[in-house]
Structure formats: structure tokens, C-alpha cells
Amino acid sequence: MMQSPIQVLQNQRRLLEIEYKADKAEYDRHVESIGMRRRVKRGDAWFPVRVGRSYYNSLNQMVVELYREEDIEIEHNFEFGRPVNFFFMNDDAGTKGETFGVIRSTATVSYVDGNRMVVAVPDGFSVSDLQSYSKMGVQLAFDETSYRTMFDALDRAIRAKGRMGYLRDLFGSRQKAETFTFQPMHFQYLNATQEKAVNEVLRAKDVAIVHGPPGTGKTTTLVEAIYETLRRESQVLVCAQSNMAVDWISEKLVDRGVNVLRIGNPTKVNDKMLSFTYERRFEAHPDYPHLWALRKAIRDLRARRRGDDRYHQKMEHLKGRVTELEIRINGELFGEARVIASTLVGSANRLLDGMKFSTLFIDEAAQALEAACWIPMRRVSRVILAGDHCQLPPTVKSMEAVRGGLGRTLMERIVEQKPEVVTLLKMQYRMHEDIMRFSSDWFYGGMVESAPDVKFRGILDYDIPMEWVDLSSSVQSEESGVQRSDYRQDEVPDHSNKANHTSSLLTLNSSLPFREEFVGETFGRINKAEAELTLQCLEAYFTRIGRQRILDERIDVGIISPYRAQVQYLRRMLAKREFFKPFRRRISVNTVDGFQGQERDVILISLVRANDSGDIGFLRDLRRMNVAITRARMKLIILGDVSTMTRHPFYRKLYGYVCGLKNGV
């Protein structure tokens, strides 16, 4: 029996509650069990930090500057809006060792740029106390705010009337979405399916979906759709799940000359990105110096507080002038902006209270929980979703919630119930035909094709665009196939004297003990011999290309692994190997999730799994593999144990496809 739209959302709320409890329990367990150094290595903490100046920002929040002074090479997970708390270590006089403590007050990241972070502290927080500790650190706290905002959004949608109630009922049923009628428009720089997508967006009264497989120009299409919408509407709301996705679409709109007002701090911190943030524009307003002076007068007055009538009259007068100026500045900033851009959770910002928009664009909608999509929808009349539900899904930690369907997105639900509102982009501009074909056949029904100028792109003549380096013959495992590792990131072979290594892909050493090792829930698994072989493969390929050509043509490389342990081990190996020193700026190592939306000339994928039982864990999530195998423009090298991986039909098919390319089939 099909659930009603309200029942669907009630079930989503129940599952979100399960996810919240599981996420909170996992956080508490990790805080208790994982030491401070492990949290630093995970990128969830900075220690030690130097406390810089404190001041009031344009939002009248007290903020504190923090500087990371050690482990600066570790990629961290701090970004705008995330909650943090401080911890400290003090030398104990008369005792051995140090004392560790946590300051329970929760601050919020306001700005991050490299190894400098600015955090907004709550009212009443004593900044001077931070200076009293001999060693200070900052760590991510549990994000209660995002969950509260999603719960509130679902509750609003469940009891909604009017337009929001109509959208809820429409999305939860097979009712046909309404459209406008007009002759299709032609766009000179778009291909046929991109042009169709823009026209369908313009026709949509209720909802439209732009389904963009890898490399098909989804962002280009979405920017054009927003640009054309702004010819008909004064202002639109543009959201995405991540700050990075918001930054990307915002930057492209700015390049088109669109006035964008970015709510929140951009991930890519540079002058261009900062110039369209709310805070930067607020501070640049001609009335801001006067506003700052008034706010300072209020703070000074509070500091010497007296309870007489004159005090209260002056305070009320100053507050009134502040409110008047804030309304005037915000009115001008929001009145001039054509696009308001924020994350989905960020759209709940008090700055947007009372604002309504005709159209909401949600980019990367297939990566967002349905609850998050409902946050901005209370402000709009129609919704445009863009993304690819065949790539990365939302992150859900609770297996119970996964089985219940929490990971099923609003975009997936609409695609299933309303295929008529979906436009599939069919022309890809990224990959060699042979790299693209498997993904097209498996995930998109063979409907994605290669543009003529990329169809046969390559680096070397007569090169095979896809290769699979099989480790099966070298797997040495115990009966279980998996061993526990006492993982240490400094356990990296020293290759500093192997600058003249000249192995080829066909003559690599396959006698090493290739096997996976479990290193804990946080880091997952590692295969050290496979990591070694991965760099050998890259070294061999670079040798074939030639050093000077790599530098002259700026050939870039991505090394992808599903597991954080493997990623961090590869990074340390890469840093130690002298051969790669001239090319380090051209080589990136990250997880599959970290490469979403990116591309490189050459991609190597280290699958890690090698065991006798054929267990591949979350590699069964084929959407992640779709992302991994579609990042390469010209060369894709997969390293994996065939005997383990090919017990799954997807990898068996993929391996057969790669072998067919090698044999000219």
C-alpha cells in the first residue's frame, strides 16, 4: 500500500531521529575512545593552536582568531557553520604529565583560510581564559544545529498548507506537475539536451530536474537556466548541500555578471569569492562605520551599567539607531542581489526571515537528505533540482536508517514518480570514449555519448585508456583474509634513493604480500603493498610520458581510494619519494567523496580490498565507483585484487570490459 505524502515525511522524520541518535552515540564514543593525536590526524582537531586577536565582526558577534602551528599538512574538516569547542592541556606542578580538559561552551566556525580560523564565541564567553592555558586546541563538536533545523523543516512540511503543502502532496504522489506553454528557445552555446533542460526549467510551474551524468556540463546548464530565469524573475534562491558546491555555482554566476549575495563563508577563500559574501558587502557599505560606532557605544555603556532612567533612555536610543541602520543596509544588499546563495541548512539563516522567492534551485540534490531540501522550500513557489542520483548518495551512518530508506533522496523520489519532469544530459565533454562507455552502459542505459573533441583524447600514442593491475596472484592472507593492523602513519618505506626507478606497468614486482588490514572504524582499511604498487605504476607512467612534457603540459593526476587510511598512507609515501618531488603540485590524493565534481588527466584507483571471502564492504555502493571511474580525462588505472573484487557482478563486468579494451575487443 502506497504511503500518503504526509506519511512519507513522518517516516523520514522517524528515520532521521534514528540517524541523529546513532550519529550522537558514535561521536560520544569517538571522543571518549580516540586520543587527541588521532583526532588531529583525522582532521577533526587542531593542536596546538595560537590564540590571536578577538573582535566583533559585522554580525556583532565576538570572534577569536586561531592559528594552527603543527600538522599543517593534514587536511582538516573545519568549515563555515560547524560547531567547535576548545580543549586545553596544562602542566601539573608537582605531578607527572599534563591535565586535559574541555571547555564546554560551543563556538561556531565563521571563517577558515589555510591554517587560520576565526570562530564566533557565545555571549558571556571569556576570551581571556583562552590565554591562560599553556596549550590550547580546538575540535569539532557534535552538530546539533543541522539536525534541529532538519527536524523543524520536516515538521513544517508535515503541517503545511498553501503552496508548501501543495508541493508536499505533489512530490509524494503521481499527480502530474503543471507547466507553462511557450515555444522553445535556442541557446547558441548549449548542445541539444542542455538546451532542452533549460527550456524545461523555464516551462516548469512546480518542479523540474536536470539529471547530469559525469562530464555532461550540468553546472553550465544550471547557470544558463538561472540566468534565463532572472530575465523573468527579480531574484532566485540557489542552494546546495555543501559549501563547495555553493561556491562553484556562485563563482560561475559571478562570471556571467550576476549579482550574487553569498550567505556563509566560501570554502575557496580568495578575494573573488569573498567579494560577494554577505559579511564582506555589509562591512563595505558606507553606513557600516557609523553602525560600528553605535554598536561600540552600546558595549561601552553596558560595561559601566547604571540602573537610572538616563541609562535606559540612552540605551534604547542607541538600539533604535542600530536597528534602523541594519534594516537599511540589509535592505540595500538584498534588494540589489539577483541571486541569494547558501547551503541548504544555511537557508535557515535569520537574515532570510520573511523573504520569499519564486524559484529555488538545488544543486547536487542527489547528495542531500530529503529533510535538508525542505529547509529552503518554505520560501519558494517552485523547485528546480540538479544532480545525479547515480553518483554519491547522502551520508547516512545508521544502518537501520539506511535500510528504512533515509538515504533515498527527494530527487530520486521525484525521478521515479514523475519521469516527465526529468531531462537527462547526454553529451559528455570530459573523458575518452573508452573510459566513459562502461559508466554510460551500466548506469545510464547507454544514453551518454562523447563529444567529438574528447572522444579519442589521450596522452600517449597507442595507449590503452583503461587498465586494471591485478594483484590476485600475490595475495597472502590468513584464513580470514583480513588482519588487524597497528596502523601508524609514519610507517612508510623510504624511497629517497630510488629516483632512477624505471619499472613499467608490465614488469612491476608482484611478489609483495598484497592484503588488506583493518585499522578501525574511522580509517577503514589499508593495503600497504597495493599503495606501494600504486606509486610504482604512476612512476612508470610518468617515465613513459617524460618529465619535461608533464611539466610543460601541466598534466595532472588524481589518486583515489575508498578508505581514509589508504589515502593518508599514500600521501606520506608520496611525500617521501624523491621521484615525485617536481610533480607534487600536480598530484592529488583523496577519497572518492573528496573527488566528487573534480577531474584529472590521469586517475589511479586503489581498491584496497584483498581477502579470501570476497568481502568488499561499502564498495558494494556502486554509485561511489561511478564517481571514481569517471574522474579521468585520458587515462584510468585500477589496482585491485581481481579474485576478491570480481565476485561482485559489477566488478566482474568492469574487469571484463577492461580486458576487452586490452585485447582490442
Determine the Cα–Cα distance for residues 204 and 182; give it in Å rounded to an integer: 11
List, for residues 562-613, the tens digit of each pLDDT value: 998 899 899 999 999 999 999 999 999 999 988 888 999 999 999 999 998 9
Query: What is residue 487's predicted lDDT score, i.e. its pLDDT?
Result: 42
| Cis peptide, bond prior to residue 649, ω within 30 of zero | no
pLDDT over threshold 60, residue 498: no
First to last CA, the chain: 47
Query: What one-character DSSP code corresponds to residue 318?
Result: H
What distance in Å separates the CA atoms of residue 606 and residue 456, rounded to the nearest whole number? 25
Residue 597, pLDDT score = 83
State the cell numbers at 263: 550567505
What 3-state class would DSSP assign to 155?
helix
Mean pLDDT of 38-66: 88
**Between 167 and 130, residue with greater pLDDT:** 167
- Angle 144-158/162-171 helices, nearest 10 degrees? 90
Collapsing DSSP to helix, strand or coil, 662 comes out as: helix
Contact 221, 198 (CB under 8 A): yes
- pLDDT reported for residue 103: 81
Q: Are 600 and 632 in contact (CB under 8 A)?
A: yes
pLDDT at 117: 93
Question: What is the bridge-based pairing of β-strands 357-363 and 236-240?
Answer: parallel
Residue 51 amino acid letter: V
Give CA 461 to chain center in angstroms.
36
pLDDT at 561 over 70: yes
129, pLDDT greater than 60: yes
Taking the CA of residue 323 as centre, how many other CA atoms within 13 Å lie in the half-sphere pointing to its CB? 6
Q: What does the pLDDT average to over 41-56?
A: 89
Residue 231 has pLDDT above 70, yes or no: yes
**Per-residue pLDDT tens digits for 249-287:** 999 999 999 999 999 888 766 777 788 999 999 999 999
The rounded percent of the chain whose pLDDT value lies above 70 is: 91
Residue 100 has a pLDDT of 66
Q: Tell me, what's the pLDDT at 273?
A: 79
Sign of CA dihedral 585, 590, 593, 595: positive
Q: Show the cell assigned to 4.
A: 500518503
pLDDT digits (tens, 9 = 90+) for 59-69: 888 899 999 98
pLDDT for 240 beyond 90: yes
- Does residue 510 surpass a pLDDT of 60? no
The angle subtended at Cα 40 by Cα 39 and Cα 42, nearest 5°, is 65
Query: Letter for the amino acid at 503?
Result: S
Distance between CA 214 and CA 218 in Å, rounded? 8
